[in-house]
Protein backbone atom coordinates (compact mmCIF):
# COMPACT_ATOMS: atom_id res chain seq x y z
CA UNK A 1 0.00 0.00 0.00
CA UNK A 2 1.21 3.50 -0.85
CA UNK A 3 0.02 7.06 -0.18
CA UNK A 4 -1.46 8.96 -3.11
CA UNK A 5 0.32 12.12 -4.21
CA UNK A 6 -2.92 14.08 -3.74
CA UNK A 7 -2.58 13.51 -0.01
CA UNK A 8 0.99 14.70 0.56
CA UNK A 9 0.13 18.37 1.19
CA UNK A 10 -2.93 17.65 3.35
CA UNK A 11 -1.07 15.06 5.43
CA UNK A 12 1.82 17.48 6.00
CA UNK A 13 -0.55 20.28 7.06
CA UNK A 14 -2.45 17.93 9.37
CA UNK A 15 0.83 16.78 10.97
CA UNK A 16 1.98 20.35 11.65
CA UNK A 17 -1.37 21.48 13.07
CA UNK A 18 -1.84 18.41 15.25
CA UNK A 19 1.74 18.61 16.55
CA UNK A 20 1.19 22.27 17.50
CA UNK A 21 -2.10 21.43 19.19
CA UNK A 22 -0.50 18.64 21.20
CA UNK A 23 2.24 20.98 22.42
CA UNK A 24 -0.48 23.40 23.50
CA UNK A 25 -2.35 20.58 25.25
CA UNK A 26 0.77 19.60 27.21
CA UNK A 27 1.37 23.22 28.24
CA UNK A 28 -2.27 24.10 29.03
CA UNK A 29 -3.10 20.88 30.88
CA UNK A 30 0.25 20.15 32.54
CA UNK A 31 -1.51 19.43 35.81
CA UNK A 32 -4.01 17.10 34.09
CA UNK A 33 -1.89 14.47 32.34
CA UNK A 34 -4.87 12.16 31.75
CA UNK A 35 -6.71 14.91 29.85
CA UNK A 36 -3.87 15.82 27.49
CA UNK A 37 -3.15 12.13 27.00
CA UNK A 38 -6.75 11.59 25.84
CA UNK A 39 -6.57 14.63 23.56
CA UNK A 40 -3.24 13.42 22.21
CA UNK A 41 -4.66 9.97 21.48
CA UNK A 42 -7.67 11.54 19.72
CA UNK A 43 -5.40 13.63 17.51
CA UNK A 44 -3.29 10.57 16.66
CA UNK A 45 -6.40 8.62 15.62
CA UNK A 46 -7.53 11.58 13.49
CA UNK A 47 -4.11 11.75 11.81
CA UNK A 48 -4.18 8.01 11.06
CA UNK A 49 -7.63 8.44 9.45
CA UNK A 50 -6.34 11.28 7.27
CA UNK A 51 -3.38 9.19 6.12
CA UNK A 52 -5.63 6.17 5.56
CA UNK A 53 -7.96 8.21 3.36
CA UNK A 54 -5.18 8.72 0.80
CA UNK A 55 -4.04 5.10 0.73
CA UNK A 56 -3.69 3.31 -2.58
CA UNK A 57 -3.65 -0.48 -2.19
CA UNK A 58 -1.60 -2.66 -4.51
CA UNK A 59 -3.97 -4.62 -6.72
CA UNK A 60 -3.54 -7.01 -9.61
CA UNK A 61 -5.90 -5.98 -12.41
CA UNK A 62 -7.26 -8.54 -14.85
CA UNK A 63 -7.48 -6.60 -18.11
CA UNK A 64 -10.52 -7.61 -20.18
CA UNK A 65 -11.94 -5.56 -23.07
CA UNK A 66 -15.37 -7.11 -22.54
CA UNK A 67 -15.64 -6.09 -18.88
CA UNK A 68 -16.85 -2.83 -17.37
CA UNK A 69 -15.05 -2.64 -14.03
CA UNK A 70 -15.98 -0.59 -10.99
CA UNK A 71 -14.08 2.73 -11.25
CA UNK A 72 -13.92 3.08 -7.46
CA UNK A 73 -14.44 1.39 -4.13
CA UNK A 74 -17.79 1.80 -2.39
CA UNK A 75 -21.36 0.52 -2.28
CA UNK A 76 -23.80 0.25 -5.18
CA UNK A 77 -26.73 2.55 -4.36
CA UNK A 78 -28.45 2.91 -7.77
CA UNK A 79 -29.09 0.57 -10.70
CA UNK A 80 -31.68 2.04 -13.06
CA UNK A 81 -32.49 2.97 -16.64
CA UNK A 82 -31.99 6.69 -17.28
CA UNK A 83 -31.42 9.21 -20.06
CA UNK A 84 -27.79 10.38 -20.05
CA UNK A 85 -28.14 13.93 -21.38
CA UNK A 86 -24.62 15.35 -21.22
CA UNK A 87 -22.68 13.20 -23.67
CA UNK A 88 -24.36 9.93 -24.68
CA UNK A 89 -27.76 11.59 -25.14
CA UNK A 90 -29.53 8.26 -25.04
CA UNK A 91 -31.09 5.83 -22.62
CA UNK A 92 -28.62 3.69 -20.71
CA UNK A 93 -28.16 1.92 -17.39
CA UNK A 94 -26.87 4.03 -14.51
CA UNK A 95 -24.89 2.33 -11.75
CA UNK A 96 -24.02 4.63 -8.84
CA UNK A 97 -21.34 3.89 -6.25
CA UNK A 98 -21.32 5.73 -2.92
CA UNK A 99 -17.93 6.16 -1.25
CA UNK A 100 -17.73 6.71 2.50
CA UNK A 101 -14.71 8.55 3.99
CA UNK A 102 -13.25 5.12 4.85
CA UNK A 103 -13.14 3.94 1.23
CA UNK A 104 -10.21 4.29 -1.14
CA UNK A 105 -11.04 7.42 -3.12
CA UNK A 106 -8.99 6.97 -6.27
CA UNK A 107 -10.82 6.34 -9.54
CA UNK A 108 -9.68 4.02 -12.34
CA UNK A 109 -10.91 3.67 -15.90
CA UNK A 110 -13.73 1.08 -16.05
CA UNK A 111 -12.95 0.08 -19.66
CA UNK A 112 -10.05 0.04 -22.12
CA UNK A 113 -10.22 2.42 -25.05
CA UNK A 114 -9.92 6.13 -25.81
CA UNK A 115 -11.01 9.10 -23.68
CA UNK A 116 -13.36 11.10 -25.93
CA UNK A 117 -14.70 13.74 -23.53
CA UNK A 118 -14.01 15.34 -20.16
CA UNK A 119 -15.80 18.29 -18.60
CA UNK A 120 -15.79 19.84 -15.13
CA UNK A 121 -18.99 21.40 -13.77
CA UNK A 122 -19.27 23.73 -10.79
CA UNK A 123 -22.22 23.01 -8.55
CA UNK A 124 -23.71 22.61 -5.09
CA UNK A 125 -22.72 20.17 -2.32
CA UNK A 126 -25.78 18.05 -1.62
CA UNK A 127 -25.15 14.81 0.25
CA UNK A 128 -23.76 12.29 -2.23
CA UNK A 129 -26.76 9.93 -1.98
CA UNK A 130 -29.24 12.70 -2.88
CA UNK A 131 -30.95 11.91 -6.26
CA UNK A 132 -30.14 15.40 -7.60
CA UNK A 133 -26.45 15.24 -6.68
CA UNK A 134 -25.72 13.66 -10.09
CA UNK A 135 -26.84 16.80 -11.94
CA UNK A 136 -26.54 19.63 -9.39
CA UNK A 137 -23.37 18.93 -7.39
CA UNK A 138 -19.82 19.82 -8.36
CA UNK A 139 -18.86 17.06 -10.79
CA UNK A 140 -16.53 15.94 -13.55
CA UNK A 141 -17.69 13.82 -16.47
CA UNK A 142 -15.43 11.44 -18.41
CA UNK A 143 -16.48 9.54 -21.54
CA UNK A 144 -14.55 6.58 -22.95
CA UNK A 145 -15.03 4.83 -26.28
CA UNK A 146 -14.32 1.18 -25.60
CA UNK A 147 -12.41 -0.99 -28.04
CA UNK A 148 -15.67 -2.54 -29.29
CA UNK A 149 -16.89 0.91 -30.36
CA UNK A 150 -19.42 1.35 -27.55
CA UNK A 151 -19.16 4.38 -25.26
CA UNK A 152 -19.54 4.62 -21.50
CA UNK A 153 -19.60 7.66 -19.24
CA UNK A 154 -18.54 7.88 -15.62
CA UNK A 155 -18.99 10.94 -13.47
CA UNK A 156 -17.05 12.01 -10.36
CA UNK A 157 -19.46 13.75 -7.98
CA UNK A 158 -18.56 15.79 -4.91
CA UNK A 159 -20.64 15.31 -1.76
CA UNK A 160 -21.42 17.44 1.28
CA UNK A 161 -17.86 16.96 2.60
CA UNK A 162 -15.88 16.37 -0.60
CA UNK A 163 -14.84 19.74 -2.05
CA UNK A 164 -12.05 18.76 -4.39
CA UNK A 165 -12.36 16.70 -7.56
CA UNK A 166 -9.18 15.87 -9.43
CA UNK A 167 -9.18 14.51 -12.99
CA UNK A 168 -5.96 13.01 -14.37
CA UNK A 169 -7.03 12.64 -18.00
CA UNK A 170 -8.25 14.55 -21.06
CA UNK A 171 -9.80 13.80 -24.44
CA UNK A 172 -7.53 11.89 -26.80
CA UNK A 173 -5.67 9.94 -24.12
CA UNK A 174 -5.69 6.17 -23.78
CA UNK A 175 -7.92 4.59 -21.12
CA UNK A 176 -6.73 1.41 -19.42
CA UNK A 177 -8.41 -0.48 -16.61
CA UNK A 178 -5.26 -0.38 -14.48
CA UNK A 179 -4.73 3.37 -15.00
CA UNK A 180 -5.87 6.07 -12.56
CA UNK A 181 -8.47 8.48 -13.92
CA UNK A 182 -8.94 10.79 -10.93
CA UNK A 183 -9.34 11.31 -7.21
CA UNK A 184 -12.06 12.81 -4.99
CA UNK A 185 -11.17 14.05 -1.52
CA UNK A 186 -13.29 13.15 1.52
CA UNK A 187 -16.47 11.29 0.64
CA UNK A 188 -18.31 11.27 -2.67
CA UNK A 189 -20.07 9.31 -5.41
CA UNK A 190 -19.42 7.88 -8.86
CA UNK A 191 -22.12 7.43 -11.51
CA UNK A 192 -21.40 5.01 -14.37
CA UNK A 193 -23.58 5.06 -17.52
CA UNK A 194 -23.38 1.93 -19.65
CA UNK A 195 -25.26 0.58 -22.72
CA UNK A 196 -28.66 -0.97 -22.04
CA UNK A 197 -27.44 -4.08 -23.85
CA UNK A 198 -24.71 -4.72 -21.25
CA UNK A 199 -25.28 -7.51 -18.73
CA UNK A 200 -25.28 -6.21 -15.14
CA UNK A 201 -23.11 -8.25 -12.75
CA UNK A 202 -23.73 -6.44 -9.43
CA UNK A 203 -26.68 -5.91 -7.11
CA UNK A 204 -27.95 -3.00 -5.03
CA UNK A 205 -26.13 -2.57 -1.70
CA UNK A 206 -23.23 -4.69 -2.96
CA UNK A 207 -19.76 -3.50 -1.95
CA UNK A 208 -17.38 -3.15 -4.88
CA UNK A 209 -13.66 -2.55 -5.37
CA UNK A 210 -12.17 -0.24 -7.96
CA UNK A 211 -10.59 -2.02 -10.96
CA UNK A 212 -11.49 -5.38 -9.37
CA UNK A 213 -15.28 -5.83 -9.35
CA UNK A 214 -17.02 -6.43 -12.69
CA UNK A 215 -20.01 -4.08 -12.89
CA UNK A 216 -21.19 -5.35 -16.26
CA UNK A 217 -20.21 -7.13 -19.47
CA UNK A 218 -20.59 -5.82 -23.00
CA UNK A 219 -22.88 -7.79 -25.34
pLDDT band at 191 (very low <50, low <70, confident <90, very high): very high
| pTM of the predicted structure, to 2 decimals | 0.83
Q: Name which residue leads in pLDDT, 205 or 25.
A: 205
Q: What is the pLDDT of residues 89-119, one digit of tens each?
A: 999 999 999 988 788 889 999 999 999 999 9
**Looking at residue 127, what is its pLDDT?**
61
Residues whose CB falls within 8 Å of the CB of residue 187, separated by 6 or more in sequence, listed in order? 99, 100, 101, 105, 128, 159, 160, 161, 162
The domain spans of the chain are: 2-56, 67-217
Mean predicted confidence (pLDDT) in 175-181: 96
The active-site residue, picked from 72, 134, 151, 188, is 188
Nearest to residue 165, comparing CAs of 193, 212, 133? Answer: 133
Query: For the chain, what percent of residues have pLDDT higher than 90?
Result: 54
pLDDT digits (tens, 9 = 90+) for 6-30: 778 888 988 999 888 888 877 777 7
The CATH number of the structural domain formed by 67-217 is 2.70.70.10
Predicted local distance difference test score (pLDDT) of residue 168: 93
**Residue partners of 9: CB distance under 8 A and separation at least 6:** none
Q: Is 52 a catalytic residue?
A: no
User: What is the rounded distance in angstroms from the CA atom of residue 81 to the CA atom of residue 78?
Assistant: 10
Q: In what order do the strands lie in the sheet with 207-208?
A: 174-175, 113-121, 139-146, 151-158, 188-194, 90-99, 74-84, 207-208
Amino acid sequence: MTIHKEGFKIIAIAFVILTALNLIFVWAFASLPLLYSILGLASLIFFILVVSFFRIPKRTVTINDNHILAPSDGKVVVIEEVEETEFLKEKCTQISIFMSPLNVHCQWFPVNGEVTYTKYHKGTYLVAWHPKSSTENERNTIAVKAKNGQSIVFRQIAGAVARRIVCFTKAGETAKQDKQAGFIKFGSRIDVFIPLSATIKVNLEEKVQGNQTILAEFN
